[in-house]
Structure 1
Amino acid sequence: MAVTDEAITKIKEMIVRGELRPGDRLPREPDLAERLGLSRSSLREAVRALALIHVLDVRQGDGTYVTSLQPERLLSALEFVVDLHRDDTVLQFLEVRRILEPAATAMAAAAMPEEAVAELRRHLESLPAGASPDELVAWDLELHRRIAEGSGNRVLHSLLESLSGPTHRARVWRALTQTGAVRRTMDEHRAIVDAIATRQPDVARSWATVHVAGVEAWLREALAPGGELSGAPGGAPAREEPPLSR
């Protein structure tokens, strides 16, 4: 095991054992290095690495602290990972989303409070006629955020937030290039919300699967040789059409 990896492991073990809790300040660097049997340089590298993934918070002039360790904070680093990948790899993230999102939607159908369901319906009807692709995607992201939150599972909600936002380019491309994409999106969302409102988890799960699989299938076809995005420089749409209306 590399020295830095060993240092990361030892700090992680302190957190897992409860020696360091959320919000705690780490001991002074020389004291912690001696306690863990590490060089100060390897400890410093470990702290930098753990700060990058939001386990530690380095405050200049104050010290280093364990963060809240909340799922949404720790998983936000996943967005960076998604953004670094090319669009053929984004397909794999969409595949994961196709597995997780239907489960969250089914859970929302069983657990989402009535008031939250009513807010979800209001949001469903809030998209203006003639919305641009960017407006459609922002509206879509918020709808999915509310549903994931309604699952009642914070880890699942955070995972979906990380997977959903960074893949929004695929949804913009679809709205720009696929005829009827906006109408299809609206119809699928309405079916999902209806299933949640009527407390039908299996129906909600099915419609969520159809919805996410549609984006995935379109991107897979568009990235294939001869597809709409296969020859576009820098992964940009090969053509751009006027915004579609509702």
Structure 2
Amino acid sequence: MSLSDRAIARIRELIQAGELVPGSKLPPEAELAAQLGLSRNLMREAVKALAVARVLEIRRGDGTYVTSLQPDLLLGGLVGAVELLQGDTGTLLELMEVRRLFEPVAAALAATRIGDTGLAEVKRHLDAMREARDDVELLNHHDAAFHRAVVAATGNDTLVSLLDGISSQTLQARIWRGLVDGDAAGRTLAEHEAIYLALVKQDGPLAQAAALLHVSNTEGWLRDHLRVNGTMPEVQPLKAAARP
């Protein structure tokens, strides 16, 4: 472990021990450096690194504070990190596997917790998918929003943040499927309708089964086509993402 890493670890230990709580202000740099037995340069480097990681917030002219440490803040960088992964087929398939592990369980949990507002949001995107069935990009925009609404209904911010990062990278594959498979839109709509109906019934096992079938079908299609074609063509970013 480098000296900078040790400095970061020391500050993290203070937070984990509850000596620095969310929202609290750090002691002055010189004081904290002396307390931890670090040089001021090392302390400065550690603070900057933890600020990048959203653990600390540097407020110019005011000092340095511990952030809220909420999952959506700390894991928000996961989306950007996943986007930086090399887009080879092996990595894409690994992400699809992770999605298959998480999403069905999330759907089951959502079915036991979702309320009228959550159901309305899921239905809104399902209806938008029906209307956009001939527009691959817009369809997939609402497809992604549908899944996010389902996961959000769990009330688990950590799960939402994790799946946001994964879905952002697998969306390109789903757009590709829509472009090359003429039957994809119909099957996708039917699978999403099954998930929605399970949520309406608040049937966790049924929601899990419907989500597993949907994600597994997408993953299976991708594996088959990568086996034949060897690679996935580049797809332009969603224009639909900018639409209301």
Contact 1:221 1:227 in 2 (8 A): no
- Which of residues 195, 200, 206 in structure 2 aligns to 1:197? 200
Cα separation, 1, equivalents of 2:49 and 2:136:
37
**Given the two structures, how large is their TM-score scaled by the length of structure 1?**
0.86
2:92 is equivalent to residue 90 of structure 1: yes
Cα distance in 1 between the residues matched to 2:214 and 2:134: 19
The question of whether the paired residues in 2 share the 8 Å contact of 1:148 and 1:157 is answered with: yes
CA shift in 2, pair 1:2/1:177, >3 Å: same
The question of 1:114 aligning with 2:116 is answered yes
Q: Residue type of the partner of 2:35?
A: R
Measure, in 2, the Cα distance between the counterparts of 1:73 and 1:160. Answer: 14
Query: Aligned equivalents of 2:59 and 2:9: distance in 1?
Result: 22
CA deviation profile, 1:48-70 (whole Å, cap 9, x unmatched) = 22222211122333322211111
2:238 paired residue number: none
**Separation of aligned partners in 1, 2:147 and 2:61:** 40
1:58-207 maps to which residues of 2 (within 5 A)? 58-87=58-87, 88-127=90-129, 128-207=131-210
Give TM-score, length-normalised by structure 2. 0.87
Aligned residues: 232
Letter matched to residue 7 of structure 2: A
CA distance in 1, matches of 2:227, 2:144: 26
Gaps of 5+ in 2: 236-244
Looking at structure 2, the residues matched to 50 and 225 of structure 1 have their Cα atoms a distance apart, in angstroms, of 45
1:38 corresponds in structure 2 to 38
- With over 3 angstroms needed to count, the CA separation of the structure-2 counterparts of 1:180 and 1:81, relative to structure 1, is same
Aligned residue in 2 for 1:8 = 8
Once the two structures are overlaid, the 10-residue window that deviates more, 214-223 or 56-65, is: 214-223
* CA shift in 2, pair 1:197/1:58, >3 Å: same
Q: Which amino acid aligns with 2:26?
A: L
SS of residue in 1 equivalent to 2:12? helix
Q: How far did residue 211 of structure 1 move?
A: 1.5
RMSD: 1.9
Q: SS state of the match for residue 23, structure 2?
A: coil
Q: What SS does the corresponding residue of 1:152 show, helix, strand or coil?
A: coil
Shift of 1:183: 1.4
User: What is the CA–CA distance in structure 1 between the aligned matches of 2:52 and 2:170, rounded to whole Å?
Assistant: 21
- CA–CA distance in structure 2, aligned partners of residues 86 and 218 of structure 1: 21
Bigger shift: residues 213-222 or 134-143: 213-222
The 8 Å contact of residues 82 and 90 in structure 1, kept in 2 or not, is answered as: no
Fraction of identical pairs, as percent: 44
Which whole-Å CA distance do the structure 2 matches of 1:164 and 1:103 have between them?
A: 15
* SS of aligned partner of 2:128: coil
Displacement of 1:91 after TM fit?
Answer: 2.1
Instruction: Provide Cα deviations, 1:206-242, integer angstroms capped at 9, x if missing partner.
Output: 111122223323333344463462xx4xxx15xxxxx
The separation in 1 between residues aligned to 2:159 and 2:47, in whole angstroms, is 27
Q: Which residue of 1 aligns with 2:217?
A: 214
Write the distance in 2 (CA, Å) between the matches of 1:48 and 1:222. Answer: 45
**Cα deviations by residue, 1:1-54 (Å, 9 ceiling, x for unpaired):** 221111111111111111111112222222111111112222222222222221
